[in-house]
């Protein structure tokens, strides 16, 4: 499976270094969200920042999709999550 990876590794690292970075939570799932009494999406707080790092923002989205959504629900929400992620990037840069 890893045959030839060492040949491609410098190119991969170079490409990864070109991706814009941001503050990443590192453990982003529904258990680390606090909602106010209304449950409105504008009134949510993210908690548990112990493994925060700098990296591409898609890391938190990927973590949420792998560990924060049941595999049976993922096919139904994947496109919605990715579309909202894309729209947020467009809105905020």
pLDDT digits (tens, 9 = 90+) for 19-77: 888 899 999 888 898 988 887 767 888 999 999 999 988 888 888 888 888 889 988 88
- The pTM of this model reads 0.65
How do the domains of the chain map onto residue ranges? 21-92
Determine the Cα–Cα distance for residues 6 and 50; give it in Å rounded to an integer. Answer: 32
| 3-state SS, residue 74 | helix
């Amino acid at each position: 499976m890893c045959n030839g990876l060492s040949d491609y590794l410098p190119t991969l690292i170079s490409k990864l270094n070109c991706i814009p970075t941001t503050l990443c939570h590192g453990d982003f799932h529904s258990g680390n969200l606090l909602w106010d009494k209304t449950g409105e999406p504008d009134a949510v707080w993210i908690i548990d920042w112990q493994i925060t790092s700098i990296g591409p923002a898609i890391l938190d989205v990927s973590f949420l999709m792998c560990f924060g959504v049941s595999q049976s629900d993922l096919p139904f929400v994947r496109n919605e999550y990715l579309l909202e992620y894309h729209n947020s990037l467009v809105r905020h840069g």
